[in-house]
Structure formats: C-alpha cells, structure tokens
A = this chain, B = another copy of it.
Amino acid sequence: MFDLKKYLDRRSIIVDEVLDKLIPAPDIRPTILHKAMRYSVFSGGKRIRPILCLAAAEVVGSSYRSALIPAASIELLHTYTLVHDDLPCMDNDDFRRGKPTVHKKFGEANAVLTGDALQALAFEVIVRTQTVAASTKAKLVQELACAAGSTGVIGGQVEDLAAISRKQTKGMIDFIHLHKTADLFRASLRMGALSSGASRKEIEALTIYGSNLGLAFQITDDLLDAGQPDSRTHSDKPELTCLSVMTPAKARMKAETLIHDAMTSLQSLKAACQPLISIAQFVITRTY
C-alpha cells in the first residue's frame, strides 16, 4: 500500500536539501537578502510542485535525481510569487503559514527585492548545473519563463487583482485559475519530463495531468478557504474564488471531473504512476 504522507515527507526533505545548496549562504553579502530568501523558501511549504516534477521524471523512466534542479527551480519561482503576492499593495498579508510574511519581517523594499532575486535564481540554477545538456537547459528555461511570465502566473495575478473591482464571471475565474495556478503545475510536470528525455507522447500526457491537477487544486483551495475563513486567510483583499460564480457542490463536481481527466491521461503512460495517482486523490480529498 502506497503511503503518500511518507512519500511526500521524504521527497520534501530531498527538495529542501537541494534548495539549501542552491541559495547563497546567509553570511554572503548582502546578508539580509540571503537571510530573507532562505526565510521565504524554508517556511513550511508542502513542496507539491517540485515533488510533481520529480515524480514526472520517474514516470518517464529516469531517476528523480535527474529532475532535482528543475524541481528546486520551480519552488524558487513559486516562492517569489508568494512573497510578492503578500505585499501590502497586493494581498497585504501579515502572515503566511503562521509566520510573519517577508515584508513584515524584513521590510517592504527587501520583500520586493527578495522576490526579484528568487526569480533570477530560479533561472540561474537551471543553466548553472554541469550535468544537463545545453539543449535541455534551454527547453527548461523556456518552460519556466513561459509559465512565469505575462501570459502565465503574472498574467493570472494581474487579472485576479483587476477582477475584484469588476463583475465576476466564470470566464474570468477560469482565466485566473488557469494562469495563476495551473500553468506552474503544468510546468512542474513538463520540466520533470523534459529533464529526463521524455517522448512527445509522454510530455503530452503529463501536460494534461498537470493542468487538470492544478485547476482542481485551486478549486479545493477555494473550498477549504470558504470552510475555514479565520484560520487560513489573513488578507485585506476581498476573496475572489470560484465560489463567486458557482455553488460549493458545483465546484466540487468540477474538481472531481478535473481529477478524473488527470487520472485518465496517465493511463496512456506505460509506467507505474502511483505517486501521481495518489497526489491526484489527495488533491480532491485534502483537508489542509
């Protein structure tokens, strides 16, 4: 019987070890910046995106080790978006995972710069590694930059902020979920596959899995937020969730369909996909 909790715990330790090696030591100048980068990255995240990246490498027949750097790169990128999302001019969050946000602890200017440096580092680590072919590095950078840019995560965040003051529609929520969340999930799977020389068919299957999983993850996140308004959110920003345009029952049904489609996509792969199946089941049943 596959123990998902044990698997996630073990993999998250491995991801953390790599991140620790990649982020400059806290005594390297500017020390406050490297301390802030480490504070934001080592703040108890679930590491779901990098773990998906490692799992994708295994599904296509490689060791998870071949995807360690892309996995860490994705987590650096994801962390930077959280640091900027929390800023006073954005969500104005004082706490994240029970700890003061970066701007509360290090000041607002340093929080902007911490995010900026994490984004640069996310790209740097991909190309710095000696063991990966240059053509793979270029593909990985393209994948990450595309997911991170103005038609990816940042595009989703801009529409999220703009949507608050407008009439919210289903199309708007779909755009935001797709780009703000699903794009980076998709990139996580694709980067794991690309770093392991996957075939076009394998990449396609993992792309569909990643997009669907990301969309379902955001819906269940919205449902959890709605159920526990005090303990999970500390934001000044009015909540913009899929529940603005559909009932919780409809939202759950949509998440279940997405997870079903994600699982179906895995069937075309001739490989043991147990971690990806269990993660998909976790996303639809999770309580945190």
- Asked if A110 contacts B161 (CB within 8 A), the reply is yes
Nearest CB on B from A237, distance (A): 10
- Asked if A142 contacts B124 (CB within 8 A), the reply is yes
Is A159 in contact with chain B by the CB < 8 A criterion? yes
- Asked if A157 contacts B113 (CB within 8 A), the reply is yes
Mask, A99-115, CB within 8 Å of B = 1, is 00000000111101101
Interface of A is mostly: helix
Q: A236 vs B254: C-alpha distance in the bound complex, in angstroms? A: 50
Residues of B with C-beta under 8 A to A80: 116
Is A272 in contact with chain B by the CB < 8 A criterion? no
Please give me the residue from chain B that is nearest to A150 by CB atom.
B117
Is A248 in contact with chain B by the CB < 8 A criterion? no
Mask, A28-48, CB within 8 Å of B = 1, is 111011100100000000000
Q: Which of A80, A137, A144 has the most CB of B within 10 A?
A: A137
- Asked if B158 contacts A145 (CB within 8 A), the reply is no
Is A249 in contact with chain B by the CB < 8 A criterion? no
| A159/B121 contact (C-beta < 8 A), A112-B87, A112-B90, A151-B24 known | no
Number of copies: 2
Residues of B with C-beta under 8 A to A157: 113
Is A1 in contact with chain B by the CB < 8 A criterion? no
Residues of B with C-beta under 8 A to A149: 117, 120-121, 124
**Which listed segment binds B: A127-135, A213-221, A239-247, A275-283?**
A127-135
Q: A216 vs B175: C-alpha distance in the bound complex, in angstroms? A: 47
Is A154 in contact with chain B by the CB < 8 A criterion? yes
Is A209 in contact with chain B by the CB < 8 A criterion? no
Is A148 in contact with chain B by the CB < 8 A criterion? yes
- Asked if A30 contacts B162 (CB within 8 A), the reply is yes
Is A66 in contact with chain B by the CB < 8 A criterion? no
Residues of B with C-beta under 8 A to A127: 138-139, 141-142, 145
Nearest CB on B from A2, distance (A): 36
Is A197 in contact with chain B by the CB < 8 A criterion? no
**Other-chain contact of A89, B24, B109, B162 (Cβ < 8 Å):** B109
6 smallest beta-carbon distances between A and B, as pairs: A124-B145, A120-B149, A89-B108, A117-B150, A134-B135, A134-B134
A-B CB contact pairs (8 Å), 22 listed: A29-B155, A30-B162, A37-B150, A84-B112, A84-B113, A88-B89, A89-B107, A89-B108, A90-B109, A90-B112, A110-B158, A110-B161, A113-B157, A113-B158, A117-B154, A117-B155, A120-B152, A126-B141, A134-B134, A134-B135, A137-B138, A141-B141
Sample of 5 more A-B contacts, CB < 8 Å, known A87-B112, A127-B138 = A33-B155, A89-B112, A90-B109, A115-B116, A137-B141
